[in-house]
Amino acid sequence: MIAEAVSPGFIRRRARLYAGVALVSGTNGKTTTSSMLRAILDGAGTSTVGNESGANLRQGIATSLLRVPVATALAVLEVDEATLTNVMPELEPRVLVLTNVFRDQMDRFGEVERVIELLERSCDLLPEDATILANVDDPLLWPALEHRDPVGFGIRLLQAPASVPSMRVETEVCSRCGEPLVYTSRTFAHLGVAGCSGCSWRSAEPTYVGTITERGGLRLVTLEVAGERLTLPTGGVHNAYNAIAAIAAADQLGVSMSQAVQTLRSFQPRFGRAEQVQVGGRSVWLALMKNPGAAHVLIDEIADDPRVGSVVVSVNDAAADGHDISWIWDVDFERLVRAGLPLVPSGKRVGDVAVRLKYTGGSVEPQHPDPLDAITAALAVCPSDRSPVVLATYTAMLSVRKAFGGQVASLADAPV
Amino acid sequence: MIGNAADLVIVHLYPDLLMSYGDRGNVLTLVRRAEWRGFSVRVIGVARREQLPTTIDLILIGGGSDRIQGLVGNDLAGRGGELAELVGGNTVILGVCAGYQLLGHRYVGVDGGEVRGLGLLDVTTTAGATRIVGRVSTRASFDNRSFDVSGFENHAGRTFLGAGVSPLCSVPKGKGNNGVDGTEGAVNGSVVGTYLHGPMLPTAPAFADALLVRALARATGGAPLRPLDDSIEEAAELSERTRHRKQLTSRGLTRTSTWANWGRAHRLPPRE
C-alpha cells in the first residue's frame, strides 16, 4: 500500500520479477479457482505467489507482490471485476481466467451489463500473446468475448438435474438480438448449453470439458476430465467449474491435465466454501451465499441431500455483502421447504429473512440475529443423523467463524 | 364475474426480463395475502408478443437494465390502448424502477436512445450521469391513507412529475425521483410507480393490502380485508427504519466512515 503510493509503476516492476502472471476474475469462483490453480502449480514444483481471499483490489494486489519471488515463480491473482481494467496494463498477464457473470453487488455496479462491459474492456487491454480462458457455458459472458478468440471451458452433466429450477437468476436473452435463449442442457442458474430462439447464436464447444458423473451434495462431486476421474472433496457444480477452469489455466501454463487432476484430489476448500465444523460431536456445514447465483447452486445441492436436516439463512447487508438484499426474493427457498427442511432466519437483516421465509409458506423457526444462537436452534430441530447447513453472506460468514473460534465449547455444551 | 376467473387475477408483465430486484417478492406478497384470506388467485406471466388475458385485476411491472428496458419498450408501447382501457376499468398497476419509468411518457437512456412509455403516469425520465443508490424509509400516500414503507433504490433515471400525478412518497434531498425535488414515485388513481424495490410490499403489509382492496373489488365490492398477523413484517420494517436512521446519523458525524472508504476503494473506472 505504501510502496504503491511512493511509486506508481510499482505493480508493473514487481510483476515483471515473475516468470508469468495469471489472473482470475468474474463474479463467482475467483477465490476457489485461483487457490486451486496455485495448488496445482505448487504440486508441479512451480512456486507461486497469490493474494489472500478478498484482497483483490489494487492495494491487495500490490501488497501480495511485495514478497520477493524466485525467478521461476508465477503470480496467480484473483482480481475484482472493476479493478481488472485498472491493473491489466501493469500486470501483463499470460493467462486471464473469466469464471462467470452473475448479479452481485448491484449497489456498486448498477447493472449486470456493466460488469460484462468491464470484463470485455479488460480483454482489450491484454498483451497480444495472452490467452483468455472463459466459461463457454455462460451465455451472458461468452458472446461479449467471442471476438477475442477465447479458449472455452465448460461442464457437462451425465444426468439432467433432479429438479428444474423454478426461478431465474438472470435475464436469459441473446446478447446479440435480445430474443429468449433456449437451453438444451443447464448446469445451474443461467449456465449451460443454449441457443438463441431468434438468431443463429449458440454456445460454442468447450476446449476443456469436465463431465459430472456423481453428485454428493456439499460433500463431494465427481467429474471426468481428459479420461481421468476426479472426486473433489468439496461438492457442488460450481466447484466442478472452478476445477475445470483451474485445470485449463494450469494446462496453458505447462502443467499436464493428469497432474492437475492428481493434485485436486486432495484440494481443501477455503473460507466458507462448504466447510464442515464440529459442534458438540455433530457436524455443521458452512456455505458462503454471496449472491442469488451462489444461493441457487447451494440449494441445488442441499435440497436433495438426505444428510441435511435444517438450514440457517444468515444475511448481512454490510458493504462487502451488498447493501441491497432484495435478491433474497429471487432465491428458491421454497425448494428447501418442499424438501421438509426447517429454516432458521439469522443475520443483521434477520427480520427481512424471516419475512422472506414466512412467504415460502413453510415452517420457520424463531429469529436469531446471532449466528451462534441460530446454529443452536438449527441443531435442536435437526434429526440426530443429519446436519444443519448455514447459508451465510460474506460478513455473516465472518461472524459465524468468529463465533466458532471463540465459543465452540460453550455452543457444544448448550442443550440441543 | 367473468367466466371461471379466480377472485384475483394478477398479470406479471415480462417476468423473464423485468426481474432484477426481487420483483417476484411483490407478486408473492400479494398472492399470499389474498390466499391467506381465502381468495383464489391466479398469476399469469406475460412475455413479449403474448396476449393479455381478458380479466386482469392487477398488473406488476418490475425492474431491469437499460438494455432490457429497450427490449420490452416496443412490445409495451403496442399495449398502450389495451392497458389504458384496463386502468379505466380500475385495474391496479404497480411499476417498479424500469417498470415505473415505462408507465410514464418516455425514458431517455444513457446513450440518448428513447424508449416510449405507456403514458399512464404523467412523468418523464431521462438518465443522469450518476446513479441514485441507497436505502429509503418513508411514508407512502395512496387512497387518502399513508403507510410506512422501506426499500432500496438504484437508478440512473431522473424522473420529473407532471400535473397529472401526485408523488407517492417524500424523501430527503439527493434521493427519490430525481434527487432534487424530494419526491419519490408517482400515483394516479390505481396506477402506482416507485423506484423502491427491496422489494417494497413484503415489509409494507398495510400498503400491499391497500392495493389488494382495489384489486379485489371485482370479488368483494371494495370491502375492507380481514386483518392478518403482520408482526413479523412490521418488525422487519421498523428495524430497517431504525438502523437506517442510525447509519445516517453516524455517517453525518464521521466523514471517513468505513463505508465511505470502501466506496473509494471500489470506485468503478469511468465509462468509455
Any chain A CB within 8 A of the CB of B199?
yes
Non-local CB neighbours of B35 within 8 Å, separated by 6+ positions: B41
Task: List the single range of A90-99, A159-168, A231-240, B82-91 with lowest mean pLDDT.
Answer: A159-168
Write down the mean pLDDT value for chain A: 90
Catalytic residue among B12, B97, B155, B169: B97
Q: In angstroms, what separates the C-alpha of B88 from chain A's closest C-alpha?
A: 32
Q: Annotated catalytic, B266?
A: no
Residue B152 to residue A323, Cβ atoms within 8 A: yes
Q: Provide the pLDDT confidence category of residue A270 given band limits of 50, 70 and 90.
A: low
Alpha-carbon gap, residue A376 to A408, rounded angstroms? 11
Within 10 angstroms of residue B234's Cβ, the number of other Cβ atoms is 17
Non-local CB neighbours of B269 within 8 Å, separated by 6+ positions: A82, A85, A86, A118
Give mean pLDDT, residues A203-214: 97
Q: In angstroms, what separates the C-alpha of A107 from chain B's closest C-alpha?
A: 6
Position A413 scores a pLDDT of: 27
Catalytic residue among B12, B105, B197, B266: B197
Any chain A CB within 8 A of the CB of B49?
no
3-state SS assignment for residue A276:
strand
pTM of the model: 0.90
Q: Annotated catalytic, B169?
A: no
Alpha-carbon gap, residue B88 to B45, rounded angstroms? 22
- Which position has the grid cell 470485455? A120
Q: Could you report the per-residue pLDDT of B126-185, keeping only the tens digit for each? A: 999 999 999 999 999 999 999 999 999 999 999 999 999 999 999 998 899 999 999 999
Alpha-carbon gap, residue B104 to B66, rounded angstroms? 15
Residues of chain B in contact with residue A328, where contact means CB-CB under 8 angstroms, are 22
Read off the C-alpha cell for B213: 382492496
The vertex-A348 CA angle with A343 and A354, nearest 5°, equals 35
Nearest to A168 among B16, B71, B259 (CB): B16
A209: pLDDT strictly greater than 90: yes
Give mean pLDDT, residues A40-65: 89
Residues of chain B in contact with residue A351, where contact means CB-CB under 8 angstroms, are 203, 232, 235-237, 239-240
Q: In angstroms, what separates the C-alpha of B152 from chain A's closest C-alpha?
A: 6
Task: List the single range of A290-304, A348-362, A399-413 with lowest mean pLDDT.
Answer: A399-413
Nearest CA in chain A to B157: A110
Q: In angstroms, what separates the C-alpha of B236 from chain A's closest C-alpha?
A: 4
Any chain A CB within 8 A of the CB of B28?
yes
Q: Can you identify the CATH homologous superfamily of domain A275-413? A: Mur ligase, C-terminal domain (3.90.190.20)
How much helix, strand and coil, in percent to the nearest 5, is found in chain B? 35, 30, 40
CATH number of B8-265: 3.40.50.880
Alpha-carbon gap, residue B20 to B156, rounded angstroms? 15
Position A383 scores a pLDDT of: 97
Tell me which DSSP letter residue A169 carries: S
Domain ranges of chain A: 2-264, 275-413
Residues of chain B in contact with residue A358, where contact means CB-CB under 8 angstroms, are 232-233
Position B5 scores a pLDDT of: 80
Nearest to B272 among A58, A121, A330 (CB): A121
Q: Are A316 and A346 in contact (CB under 8 A)?
A: no
Alpha-carbon gap, residue A108 to B134, rounded angstroms? 10
Any chain A CB within 8 A of the CB of B246?
no
A102: pLDDT strictly greater than 90: yes
Position A272 scores a pLDDT of: 59
Alpha-carbon gap, residue A322 to A106, rounded angstroms? 7
Q: Could you report the per-residue pLDDT of B14-49, keeping only the tens digit for each? A: 999 998 889 999 999 999 999 999 999 999 999 999
Position A403 scores a pLDDT of: 78
Q: In angstroms, what separates the C-alpha of A120 from chain B's closest C-alpha?
A: 12
Non-local CB neighbours of B31 within 8 Å, separated by 6+ positions: B10, B41, B43
Residues of chain B in contact with residue A168, where contact means CB-CB under 8 angstroms, are 16, 19
Non-local CB neighbours of A63 within 8 Å, separated by 6+ positions: A1, A51, A55
3-state SS assignment for residue B59:
strand
The vertex-A83 CA angle with A80 and A87, nearest 5°, equals 120
Closest CA to B158 of B196, B131, B186: B131
Q: In angstroms, what separates the C-alpha of A4 from chain B's closest C-alpha?
A: 14
Q: Please count the residue pairs, one from chain A and one from chain B, whose beta carbons lie less than 8 angstroms apart.
A: 125
3-state SS assignment for residue B43:
strand
Residues of chain B in contact with residue A321, where contact means CB-CB under 8 angstroms, are none
Exposure string (b/e) for A384-393, b if CB count within 10 Å is 16 or more?
Answer: eebbbbbbbb
Task: List the single range of A48-62, A178-192, A318-332, B159-173 with lowest mean pLDDT.
Answer: A48-62
Nearest to A173 among B71, B203, B269 (CB): B71
Residues of chain B in contact with residue A86, where contact means CB-CB under 8 angstroms, are 269
Position B256 scores a pLDDT of: 35
Residues of chain A in contact with residue B68, where contact means CB-CB under 8 angstroms, are 171, 173
Q: Could you report the per-residue pLDDT of A53-76, keeping only the tens digit for each? A: 668 888 889 888 887 778 889 999
Residue B154 to residue A352, Cβ atoms within 8 A: no
Alpha-carbon gap, residue A325 to A331, rounded angstroms? 11
Fold classification of A2-264 is UDP-N-acetylmuramoyl-L-alanine:D-glutamate ligase (3.40.1190)
Q: Are strands A387-392 and A343-346 parallel, antiparallel or unpaired?
A: unpaired
Find the radius of gyration of the CA atoms of chain B.
Answer: 19
Any chain A CB within 8 A of the CB of B197?
yes
Nearest to B17 among A171, A319, A356 (CB): A171
